Amino acid sequence: MSQNFIFQVENLQKNFGGLAVTRNVSLAMQPGDRLALIGPNGAGKTTFVNLVTGHLRPDSGTVRLGGDDVTRFNPTQRVRHGLVRSFQVTRLFLDMTPEEHIALAILQRNKQSGRMFGNYMALSGMRSEVDELLSTLGLDSLRHSKVRQIAYGQQRLLEIALAMALRPKVLLLDEPAAGVPQSDTGRIEEALAKLPDNLAVLMIEHDMDLVFRFAKRVIVLAAGEIIFDGSPADVTRDPRVREAYLGSYGHDSSVA
């Protein structure tokens, strides 16, 4: 495959007790790609995510980051190599502030976690990087509020900020709008639009409106295998996709 690919999955296979839950899945992403992975419940999306992030070991196949084979890397090693995942359920410290969360993520990235107990904001470049991330994610006015005091949608934004603090080359967003009120999903979209142009983003999401507005490319997973890989406009016309997942949504000609 071309050396331009920042992320490649080749013939990934995973069986549980003889049942194939991931069936020879292959995909590749270039810097700047905006890819959505969708599929019905039970399609194998969670297994796929766990395989590419190192939480599960595949029975066969390879995962590459920047051309390097990371198939045997653990999750922490993959993060250091540039693959960062946000979770569909927030994992935040309720009594810490957004500023503290982001600073801790930066310290972890720089292997300086022990500095969290000192004047960490005085470290070179710390304040400017924290300020930039808070501003990009629209959280600057909440920087000193405890997480328990801010809305759930803003907590999801903070989680994206934490992922960005790790300086990913590939960002895997695991249902970033899950549990977020419809009135707040616009904030998620605004944040996604501000992500760096050269960052490859893979989103797993059930909110089809968000998928169609975000993605330049859509992959559909069903029964552990890819049944579609193409444009958002074409996915709604594919009969296998409509049968497997989209249902009446796929018959709506207004969807683009």
Helix (H), strand (E), coil (C) string for 135-148: HHCCCHHHCCCCHH
**Nearest CA-CA partner of 24 in 225, 221, 240, 253:** 225
Q: What's the pLDDT at 254?
A: 38
CB atoms within 10 A of CB 95: 10
Give the whole-number percent of the chain exceeding pLDDT 90. Answer: 58
pLDDT-derived band at 255, boundaries 50, 70, 90: very low
Mean pLDDT of the chain: 88
Task: Tell me the two tokens of residue 222.
Answer: 């069903």
pLDDT-derived band at 250, boundaries 50, 70, 90: very low
Inform me whether the pLDDT recorded for 121 exceeds 80.
no
**Residue 28 · residue 1 · CB < 8 Å:** yes
Inform me whether the pLDDT recorded for 256 exceeds 50.
no
pLDDT digits (tens, 9 = 90+) for 38-66: 988 888 998 999 999 999 999 999 999 99
**Nearest CA-CA partner of 167 in 80, 103, 101:** 80
Q: What's the pLDDT at 23?
A: 94
Task: Please report the beta strands in 17-137, taking only residues with DSSP state E, as ranges in sequence order.
Answer: 19-29, 34-38, 60-65, 68-69, 83-86
Q: What's the pLDDT at 248?
A: 44
Question: Where is average pLDDT lowest: 42-46, 111-115, 144-148?
Answer: 111-115
Inform me whether the pLDDT recorded for 125 exceeds 90.
no
pLDDT digits (tens, 9 = 90+) for 155-164: 999 999 999 9
Inform me whether the pLDDT recorded for 88 exceeds 60.
no
